[in-house]
Amino acid sequence: MASRALNGLAAAGVAVGVTELLAAPFDQSADALNAVGSAVINLTPGRVKEWAIQTFATADKLFLSVAIIIVIAVLAAVAGSLETRRRPIGSALIAAAGVAACAAILSRPGGGALELIPTVVGAGCGILVLRILTVKEAKLQGDSPPDASRRSSFVAFAFLGAGVVAAVLGGVLSRWLHSVASERNAVVVPRPATPAPPVPPGAQPKGVALPSFVTDNKSFYRIDTALLVPQVSRNDWRLKVHGMVDREISYSLDDLKEFELVEKMVTLTCVSNPVGGDLISNAVWRGYRTRDLLSRAGIHHDADMVLSTSTDGFTAGTPVEALTDGRDSLLAIAMNGEPLPIEHGYPARLVVPGLYGYVSATKWVTDLELTRFDRAEAYWTRLGWSARAPIKTESRIDVPRSGQRVPVGPVTFGGVAWAQNRGVRAVEVRIDDGPWRPADLGANYSNDTWRLWSYSWAATAGSHTMSVRATDNTGAVQTADQAPVMPDGATGWHTVTFTAA
């Protein structure tokens, strides 16, 4: 039975390897593993997706990739165990898996009959290998030579190794053929007509190790539904504006040059950020005002939503006013003075101050449809999240961490607070059951960015708790009511426990 399971693993290895190798010259839509993984993501219930994000954070895609490989291995072992010389049940299972992979490919943007070729050929090779190994094993067992089992296993391992090598080679070849990294590195970002104001002195509190006021590109959080990062060339990129408009428009990157290029610092926040979480970052974005791009199309007065679509099929529903009012939402082409990193939306993405990312921050955006909330649903709203998602007033303690030991005597604690599109007026700290005390605020940059804070305290020996709350510029105080991230963002005071010794 063990040798049969090995035969199944070898067959699956060859099937996946051949598929990946043949898919390399095609577009990413021909990648069967990516298509299956994306289909799994799309079919997973919203609460399960949220569990994955909360549990694995930015490693959620790695977890899914590993899980898919494990599932393939288990199914392959089962297929091999069921395969006999006269009953090709395992072969039928491989064929069924190939059909499922083809269906996943056809469900992806750009997937067509031509993109099915690698999967069909790969599944056929897998079936052929399974039949060869099964017949060979039966023949060896019939002859009963002393080393029959060892010889059969050696052949299976050889096929499995060849499949793994082919899969790795296919992945490397695909990246070499389709990567836009060299193109991005050669892009010279034009200077903005309206640069972002400089960060004021004092924005970064001294004496406490807090996150940098401006998050570097490599440290910026990433949450999206793309299992493989889309590779979109500047020459191929187009932005279509259509729907409830007077005229349909398609913009290329060259067309955008007739609009004013502006620069704006904006803090982005993921709705999956729990109380005290780190799915929030701050960057300087350079791009074009969405209100300028949309106004040229002529928005109908009864349109209240813009359904933005990514090149990989992800959608987000944004209130029209958020893209047309004075907050200066952007079609961004640069981040912290560089072309957008590929994983953050190169060559263009949306940046909308004041809204959680799932309703606004579409990466690799290629389509803006003017529509209505009562006519269309975006990706996450179909899964139970709220259609409109303004960012809530929240704050976080970065120092001390929960469970940390601090010295007795003078210490400086600190963290960050945010209330995008309203701004932070005050931050207060409470130690144990004492009164709320005002924290020292770092210099304010704008209502669309986070604000760093610090608090000096004479630590006394023993175990302590520390809580924080923020007040925004409307006078609203951060609520103490605990709420989960679903459906429209977590609430509650962040509290840590630490020891002074």
Domains and CATH numbers, the chain: 2-178 (no CATH), 239-383 (3.90.420.10), 394-500 (2.60.40.650)
Report the candidate in 328, 380, 339, 5 with the shortest Cα–Cα distance to residue 185. 339
Band the pLDDT of 58: cuts 50, 70, 90.
low
For the stretch 248-286, pLDDT in tens is: 999 999 999 999 999 999 999 999 999 999 999 999 999
3-state per-residue secondary structure call for 109-120: CCCCCHHHHHHH
The pTM of this model reads: 0.87
Look at residue 145 in the predicted model and tell me its pLDDT. Answer: 57
Residue 194: pLDDT over 60:
yes
| Rounded-to-integer distance, Cα 269 and Cα 215, Å | 13
Interval 316-325 mean pLDDT: 97
Look at residue 35 in the predicted model and tell me its pLDDT. Answer: 84
In the predicted model, what is the mean pLDDT of the chain? Answer: 92
Torsion of CA 137, 139, 142, 145, to 10 degrees: -70
Look at residue 67 in the predicted model and tell me its pLDDT. Answer: 82
Band the pLDDT of 314: cuts 50, 70, 90.
very high
Look at residue 207 in the predicted model and tell me its pLDDT. Answer: 94
Residue scoring higher pLDDT (5 or 139): 5
Interval 279-304 mean pLDDT: 97
Whether the upstream peptide bond of residue 400 has omega within 30° of 0, thus cis, is: yes
And the tokens for 322? 């958020």
For the stretch 129-162, pLDDT in tens is: 999 888 877 676 655 555 656 667 888 889 999 9
Question: Lowest mean pLDDT: which of 154-168, 340-354, 402-416?
Answer: 154-168
Containing 100, the helix (H) or strand (E) segment is helix 89-106
Percentage of residues in the chain having pLDDT higher than 70: 97
Residue 387: pLDDT over 90:
yes
For the stretch 76-119, pLDDT in tens is: 899 888 888 888 999 999 999 999 999 988 988 877 888 899 99
Pairing of strands 409-418, 424-431: unpaired
Residue showing tokens 């690799």: 364
